Amino acid sequence: MLLPWLTAKFLFKPRVGPLRKDRILDRLAFWRSVVGMAVIMATTYRYQEAWEVPGKNLLKALQTGALALLLPPLSFLVILVVTRPGRRTRLLPGARRLLGRAALALISFFLPFLLIVVGGANVNITNPHPGAAVVFILAIPLMIASAFWFYCFWCCTIYWAARTGFWTGEIHPLLAPIGTTVLMLLISGAEIIWGGADTVPHPLWLTLNLCGIATALVLAFSEYRHLRASGYRLREGPEPVISRQACDHPEEPATPAGRT
């Protein structure tokens, strides 16, 4: 838990379903991100200065997080309209869970800045304590380590926000692949239209973007099909729909709708 990526995973990763395919899709999403990042770094490192990479990564992550903030309210309004009237109240527990995760993410993001402001306000510059300079010098390594930790934690938090469509799957499982696809297309489309290659050659940059879009679409489509096969429907609420077999023969194992 001391590692920033493990802390972000513990706080913000949604639970994985019990089926083997759920775990496979989860691992595929993880390895797609890892391999994609490794390929991008391996092919573009010669065109970028090492000191520019952290700043660019954080800036792009912040842009992704800002776009992800638009997904929950829009997704909730759409699913509220689409869902059958008698099942809309079932969306509320998921909406509360989403708000909890979002609030935790925002608090963890702004907490360091709040601590800096509070700490700076309590510093007495006119009459400093005799040992204040020594304490400050000794605290420099701790401040550098804390800044690095929070930098990694912020990037990992934004990664989970983007990968889960800002946790819209808490409202309805089918919103997760739909939300992440919409977010990815918005970001990639904006980069392709307005350009974002900077120092990277445009053909290489465009190839990397198109490959990322293709793999993300394949993964999202596979996840959507798996959820549909498990019985989830947009109009029926966040619980899987059980086929008539369960009603007619309750002693037999229930089969999700669409698999009979």
With beta carbons less than 8 A apart as the criterion, state whether 142 and 155 touch. Answer: no
In a domain, 10, yes or no: yes
pTM: 0.72
In a domain, 148, yes or no: yes
How many domains is the chain partitioned into structurally? 1
Give the range of the structural domain holding residue 186, as residue numbers without chain letter.
4-118+135-248
pLDDT digits (tens, 9 = 90+) for 28-79: 877 777 777 777 767 766 766 656 666 666 677 677 767 777 778 888 888 8
In a domain, 123, yes or no: no
With beta carbons less than 8 A apart as the criterion, state whether 4 and 153 touch. Answer: yes
Q: pLDDT 10s per residue in the chain (260 long)? A: 578 888 888 888 888 777 788 788 888 877 777 777 777 767 766 766 656 666 666 677 677 767 777 778 888 888 888 898 888 888 889 889 888 888 888 888 888 878 777 766 565 555 556 666 676 777 788 888 888 888 888 888 878 877 777 888 888 888 888 888 887 888 788 777 776 666 777 788 888 888 888 888 888 898 889 888 888 888 888 888 764 344 444 444 444 444 43
In a domain, 178, yes or no: yes
In a domain, 253, yes or no: no
pLDDT digits (tens, 9 = 90+) for 214-238: 888 888 898 889 888 888 888 888 8
* The total number of residues written for the chain in this structure: 260
In a domain, 260, yes or no: no
d(CA 185, CA 179): 10
